């Protein structure tokens, strides 16, 4: 069995401990880096949401992993939901961790209104994991440029607010779905989860921020594993 | 050489509470810091000052665009330019300018500037800035990574709208118009002179000016010494792309304060200068560094905009008047002192258009007009004949 994992606003530093539980259980995790987040020189953000979807779907198709269960977190959750809406045959089950793409008009933090050095801690309920610290530590000029381009990719997906009108189409999601949300999410506060309730009942993860699979890996990994196993029965 | 009088129109009523409580002078400054009566009075005084400058012999008067800020209270420079077009007769009306990526469709800018050209009887200079990150990305919600592409598309649309002889269809990424046929067209044929203002060393800004034979206008808050590297970079870029070194290809903004003596200048101008540098540039780093606002090429160049420099200075010790003058951010002193320092700057940086910022911070109306008058009478006449061997091809014919 295999699943696709689509990463968060903060990039793709490698599998979280939550996803490593899947690997330990014999599930292959295909985790492509979203366009732009790989920091390749010359990349420019797609000019609109449809162009973004096209680039992402091209990348997913190139993995050869579809159809399969798709797990998406943050901006990755948005793309996973869009895939389930527009290409339902490609998604056999859908797990979403605090997906973006629908905005609740409540007091949410703007990760781009603070210095870059303060941006990463905003995504977690507690300490920034070492994997992220290492990713965001400058590695010479090329490393700096790659990091800058990755941040540009992230910003272009949520600017000026992380809403891409998914509320008008999530009723088309028919796959079995899991929805997890960090209680202390500052980017997409918990209240936002109610707007996804027609996809699945939100499960609140205590002690977790926007990147809940890093803040509470055991709880998130266990919930995900159970969800995937249920689908296999 | 030409001298132009440039107004930022800052809000002059920020008090100690601003220092204590406000995070930023831009984007999300609480409206309780503004007094409507002060805004009303300021607008009228500021227009008076621009008219006073035109009457005092400045070659041009300049307005510009900023949003949601006490740094500059002029969201629409075109409104101010319209008033000035009717109240002045000879000075060039320099709109410095419209942030063209913000307008949908940008033909609105083409139309309004054409109207201004007629209202001013052909005295318009059209400035096309990319705009600050605060104005464009934070206040107007443009995705930072799209800003320059949107700007380039808007530039193409506006210039074609002014020059194409017949209606045409424009099929851009961001603007799709089946019928482009703006009316009126500008009075100047084929169009008003175009200047490209910039606040830093953007490779794309230089390239736009060079490729289209426009004026590059460096809007420096940090004076001659820090302007040197940027202007040298521009001239290297221009000459390496086959352009001549006509100094009228360039404009440079300089804060200037003049009094009878150096000591008197310090006494008169200390407060408004410190107001500007301590309050009007209070911009947290988060608002100046939107990822993608700088292109990859510019990011690589390691040359950052002055707004980023200003942003980095937040939290540092506020510069005093003496620091500011010593560093050359403001040229201040007697007419002889000011003339001497300006002549060095004009020669070393090589520009034919001096943008004089002579109302600074919360400077009073009376002091602003005195500053303007002293400069016009005691400094400007002695600098007029700089660059006698060069023709200014980037100036409205009606103002020659």
Report the 10 Å Cβ neighbour count for A42.
7
Q: What is the pLDDT of residue B306?
A: 47
Tell me if A156 and B138 make a contact (CB, 8 A cut-off): no
Mean pLDDT of the residues in chain B: 94
Contact B286 A47 (CB under 8 A): no
Q: Running DSSP on this structure, what letter comes out for residue B261?
A: S
pLDDT at position A151: 92
Task: List the structure tokens of B102.
Answer: 């913000």
pLDDT at B223 over 90: no
Give the integer Cα–Cα distance in Å for B175 and B171: 6
Coil, helix or strand for B350?
Answer: coil
Q: Is the CB of residue B310 less than 8 Å from the CB of residue B277?
A: no
Is-cis flag, bond preceding B236, omega within 30? no
The 10s digit of each residue's pLDDT in A184-215 is 999 999 999 999 999 999 999 999 999 999 99
Identify the contact set of chain A against chain B, taking CB-CB distances under 8 A: 41-42, 44-45, 47, 112-116, 118, 141, 145, 148-149, 151-156, 159-160
- For the structural domain made of B2-399, what CATH number should be given? 3.20.20.30
Q: How many CB pairs under 8 A join A and B?
A: 68
Which residues on A lie below 8 Å from B144 (Cβ)? 152, 155-156, 159
Match 């040359």 to its residue by tokens.
B303
Q: Looking at per-residue confidence, does B216 or A137 come out higher? A: B216
In B, minimum Cα distance to A148 occurs at B291
User: What are the pLDDT digits (tens) for B90-119?
Assistant: 999 999 989 999 999 999 999 999 999 999
- Give the strand pairing for A177-182 and A91-97: parallel
Across the range A178-189, mean pLDDT stands at 97
**Helix boundaries (H) for chain A:** 17-24, 49-63, 75-86, 116-119, 130-135, 140-158, 212-215, 217-232
Mean local confidence (pLDDT), B324-341 = 95
- For an interface test with B, which of A113, A117, A118, A141 has the most B Cβ atoms less than 10 Å from its Cβ? A113
Contacting residues of A for B138, CB less than 8 Å apart: 113, 160
Q: Which residues of B touch A54 (CB under 8 A)?
A: none
Dihedral sign, Cα of residue B250, residue B254, residue B259, residue B262: negative
CA distance A214 to B225: 49
Both tokens assigned to B5: 């009088």
CATH number at residue A167: 3.40.50.1820
| Mean pLDDT along residues A74-78 | 98
Asked whether A32 and A14 are in contact (CB, 8 A), the reply is no
Give the Cα separation of A103 and A196 in Å (integer): 10
Name the pLDDT band for A106 (thresholds 50, 70, 90).
confident
Band (pLDDT 50/70/90 cuts) for residue B298 is: confident
Question: pLDDT (tens digit, 9 = 90+) per residue, B260-278?
Answer: 999 999 999 999 999 999 9
Residue A218 has pLDDT above 80, yes or no: yes
ipTM here: 0.93
Mean per-residue pLDDT for B124-135? 96
Instruction: State CA A136 to chain mean position distance.
Output: 18
- Interatomic CA distance for residues B228 and B306, integer angstroms: 13
- For residue B143, which residues of chain A lie inside 8 Å, CB to CB? 45, 155-156, 159-160
Average pLDDT over residues B53-81: 98
Residues in chain B with CB shorter than 8 Å from the CB of A40 are none
Peptide bond into B317 cis (omega under 30): no
Q: Residue B85 — φ and ψ, nearest 5°?
A: -60, -30
Q: Could you read off the pLDDT of B147-175 as tens digits, one per residue? A: 999 999 999 999 999 999 999 999 999 99
The DSSP call for residue B183 is S
pLDDT computed for residue B303 by the predictor: 39
Mean pLDDT of the region B174-189: 97
> CB B291 to CB A145 under 8 A?
no
- Residues of chain B with pLDDT > 90, as a percent, come to 86
* Cβ-Cβ contacts under 8 Å for B17 (sequence gap 6 or more): B33
Cβ-based contacts of A44 with chain B (< 8 Å) = 145, 149
- Distance between A67 CA and the closest CA of chain B, angstroms: 32
pLDDT tens digits for range B230-246? 999 999 999 999 999 99
What is the rounded distance in angstroms from the CA atom of residue B219 to the CA atom of residue A189?
41
> Rounded mean pLDDT of B293-305?
73
Domain ranges of chain B: 2-399
**What is the share, in percent, of chain B residues with pLDDT greater than 70?**
96
Cα angle A53, A57, A58; round to 5: 120
Q: How sure is the predictor about A112, in pLDDT bands with cuts at 50, 70 and 90? A: very high
Q: Tell whether the model's pLDDT for residue A105 goes beyond 70.
A: yes
Looking at every residue in chain A, the average pLDDT score rounds to 94
Provide the pLDDT for residue B286.
87
Separation of alpha carbons A218 and A224, rounded Å: 10
Q: Is the pLDDT of residue B313 over 70?
A: no
Averaged pLDDT for residues A43-71: 97
Q: How many domains does chain A have?
A: 1
Closest B-chain CA to A159: B143
Q: Is residue A10 within 8 Å of A211, Cβ to Cβ? A: yes
Distance separating alpha carbons of residues B101 and B104, to the nearest angstrom: 8
User: In this predicted model, which residue has the larger pLDDT, A134 or B334?
Assistant: B334
Q: Which residue has the higher pLDDT, B201 or A89?
A: A89
Query: A156–B143: do the CB atoms touch at under 8 Å?
Result: yes
What share of chain A in percent tops pLDDT 70?
97
Tell me what pLDDT residue B289 has: 78
Asked if residue B324 lies in contact with residue B273, where contact means CB atoms within 8 angstroms, the answer is: yes
Residue A26 in tokens: 């014999």
Choose from B292, B294, B299, B313 for mutation: most chain A CBs within 10 A. Answer: B292
User: Given 3-state DSSP classes, what are the helix, strand and coil percentages for chain B, each rounded to the nearest 5?
Assistant: 50, 15, 40
pLDDT digits (tens, 9 = 90+) for B354-399: 999 999 999 999 999 999 999 999 999 999 999 999 999 999 999 9
> Under a CB-based contact definition with an 8 Å cutoff, are residues B127 and B113 in contact?
no
Of B141, B285, B286, the CB nearest to A160: B141
> Distance from first CA to last CA of chain B, Å, rounded?
12
The pLDDT of residue B19 is above 90? yes
- Residues in chain A closer than 8 A to B292 (CB atoms): 45, 151-152, 155-156
Which range has highest mean pLDDT (A103-112, B281-290, B348-357)?
B348-357
Q: Torsion angle of alpha carbons B193, B194, B199, B203, nearest 10°?
A: -130
Contacts of A221 (CB under 8 A, 6+ apart): A17, A18, A19, A20, A21, A22, A213
Contact residues of B toward A, CB < 8 A: 27, 137-138, 141-146, 149, 173-174, 284-287, 289-292, 296, 299-300
């Amino acid at each position: 069995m295999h699943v696709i994992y689509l990463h968060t606003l903060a990039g793709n530093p490698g599998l979280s401990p939550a996803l490593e539980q899947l690997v330990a259980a014999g599930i292959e995790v295909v985790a492509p880096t979203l366009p732009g987040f790989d920091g390749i020189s010359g990349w420019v953000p797609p000019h609109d949401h449809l162009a973004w979807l096209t680039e992402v779907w091209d990348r997913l198709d190139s993995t050869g992993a579809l159809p399969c269960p798709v797990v998406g977190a943050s901006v990755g959750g948005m793309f996973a939901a869009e895939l389930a809406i527009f290409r339902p045959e490609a998604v056999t089950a859908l797990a979403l961790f605090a997906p973006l793409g629908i905005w609740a008009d409540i007091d949410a933090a703007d990760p781009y209104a603070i210095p870059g050095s303060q941006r990463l801690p905003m995504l977690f309920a507690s300490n920034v994991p070492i994997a992220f610290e290492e990713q965001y530590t400058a590695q010479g000029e090329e490393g700096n440029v790659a990091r800058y381009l990755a941040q540009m990719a992230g910003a272009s997906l949520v600017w000026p607010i992380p809403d891409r009108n998914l509320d008008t189409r999530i009723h088309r999601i028919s796959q079995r779905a899991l929805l997890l949300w960090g209680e202390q999410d500052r980017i997409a506060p918990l209240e936002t989860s109610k707007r996804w309730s027609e996809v699945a009942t939100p499960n609140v993860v205590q002690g977790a921020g926007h990147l809940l699979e890093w803040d509470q890996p055991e709880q998130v990994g266990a919930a995900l594993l159970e969800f995937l196993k249920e689908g296999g029965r | 050489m030409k001298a132009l009088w440039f107004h930022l129109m800052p809000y002059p009523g920020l008090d100690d509470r601003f220092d204590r409580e406000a995070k930023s002078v831009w984007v999300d400054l609480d409206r309780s810091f503004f007094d409507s009566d002060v805004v009303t009075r300021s607008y009228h005084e500021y227009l008076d000052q621009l008219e006073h400058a035109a009457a005092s012999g400045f070659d041009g008067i300049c307005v510009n665009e900023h949003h949601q800020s006490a740094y500059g209270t002029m969201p629409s420079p075109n409104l101010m330019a319209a008033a000035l077009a009717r109240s002045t007769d000879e000075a060039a009306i320099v709109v410095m300018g419209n942030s063209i990526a913000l307008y949908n469709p940008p033909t609105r800018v083409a139309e309004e500037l054409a109207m201004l050209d007629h209202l001013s009887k052909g005295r318009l200079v059209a400035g096309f800035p990319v705009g600050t990150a605060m104005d464009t990305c934070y206040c107007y919600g443009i995705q930072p990574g799209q800003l320059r592409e949107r700007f380039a598309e808007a530039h193409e649309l506006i210039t074609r709208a002014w020059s194409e002889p017949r209606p045409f269809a424009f099929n851009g990424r961001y603007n799709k118009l089946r019928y482009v046929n703006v009316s009126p067209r500008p009075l100047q044929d084929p169009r008003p002179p175009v200047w490209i203002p910039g606040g830093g060393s953007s490779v794309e800004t230089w390239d736009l000016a060079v490729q289209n034979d426009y004026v590059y206008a460096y809007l420096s808050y940090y004076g001659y010494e820090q302007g040197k590297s940027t202007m040298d970079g521009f001239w290297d870029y221009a000459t390496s792309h086959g352009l001549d070194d006509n100094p009228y290809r360039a404009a440079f903004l300089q804060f200037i304060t003049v009094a009878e003596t150096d000591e008197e200048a310090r006494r008169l101008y200390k407060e408004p200068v410190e107001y500007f540098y301590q309050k009007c540039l209070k911009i947290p780093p988060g608002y100046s560094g939107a990822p993608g606002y700088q292109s990859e090429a510019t990011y690589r160049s390691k040359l950052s905009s002055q707004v980023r420099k200003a942003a980095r200075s937040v939290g540092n010790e506020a510069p005093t008047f003496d620091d500011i003058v010593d560093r050359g951010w403001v040229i201040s002193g007697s007419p002889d002192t000011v003339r001497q320092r300006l002549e060095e700057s004009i020669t070393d940086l090589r520009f034919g258009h001096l943008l004089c910022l002579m109302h600074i911070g919360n400077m009073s109306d009376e002091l602003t007009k005195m500053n303007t008058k002293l400069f016009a009478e005691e400094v400007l006449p002695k600098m007029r004949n700089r660059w006698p061997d060069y023709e200014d091809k980037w100036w409205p014919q009606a103002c020659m």
